[in-house]
Amino acid sequence: MKMYGNWRSAAAFRVRIALNLKGIAYEEVFLDLDAGDQHKPDFLKINPQGAVPALFDGDGPPLTQSLAILDYLEETRPGVSLLPEEPRARARARSLAQVVACDTHPLYVPRVRTFLMEHYGLPRERMLEFLRNAFTTGLKTLETRLSTEPGTGRFCQGDAVSHADLCLISLWVGTGIFDIETAPYPTVKRIAEELLALDAVARAHPLRQPGAPAS
């Protein structure tokens, strides 16, 4: 497979982990988001939304949106499953994933940060208050749910890695990048540390991709 991504994209990180866990060989083309590669005509032909990731499986049309890609991989490469079998457990794993992928991550992507700074004239530090509010709201929801709902195990849903974990860790690594306090979220932290200890996650880590800063 061939993926268009970027070292710091939380959505590309989720897909890299799934590909690694399922043992699918892939190459990643790293777009330079700061240089605006995602808005250039060549890439807009691949994804008119101008967003990564975009995944090619053979010569089919590009697959976009990280959660849709995760479900596609689940349906076409079910060997190592990243969703539980039982429908309520699946629904819980998906719901936790969407707390991140729908209600948190889209609030701090570059185009939102740019709009806040350019349209409202907010200096970067004040713009970051919006971003930090998104992070803490998402982390608080995850912590409350993971620490009180009986479905939580070694990972978000039971003892196997699921889509919920891929999303959790994609948010967690952002706390370092954006200097978000993590002490109030011990359950999220415990699961994040379990995940970071997995080779499939470690190899997919943003800081281990081309273009990433040294630390």
Q: Which residues bind its own copies (CB under 8 A)?
A: 48-49, 51, 60-61, 63-65, 67-69, 71-72, 75-76, 87-88, 90-92, 94-95, 97-99, 101-103, 105-107, 111-112, 115-116, 119-120, 122, 126, 129-130, 133, 137, 141, 144-145, 148-149
State the Cα torsion 5-24-208-33 to the nearest 10°. Answer: 0
CA Rg, the chain, in Å? Answer: 17
Residues contacting 10, CB < 8 A, separation 6+: 105, 170, 171, 173, 174
Give the shortest CB-103-to-its own copies separation in angstroms.
5
Give the shortest CB-19-to-its own copies separation in angstroms.
15
Give the shortest CB-213-to-its own copies separation in angstroms.
26
Judged by beta carbon, residue 32 or residue 129, the one nearer its own copies is 129
Judged by beta carbon, residue 21 or residue 116, the one nearer its own copies is 116
Judged by beta carbon, residue 17 or residue 101, the one nearer its own copies is 101
Give the shortest CB-208-to-its own copies separation in angstroms.
26
* HEC readout, 32-91: CCCCCHHHCHHHHHHCCCCCCCEEECCCCCCEECHHHHHHHHHHHCCCCCCCCCCHHHHH
Judged by beta carbon, residue 33 or residue 101, the one nearer its own copies is 101
Hey, what are 212's tokens? 């990433």
Cα–Cα dist 102/107, whole Å = 9
Judged by beta carbon, residue 41 or residue 213, the one nearer its own copies is 41
Q: Which residue has the tokens 């699921």?
A: 162
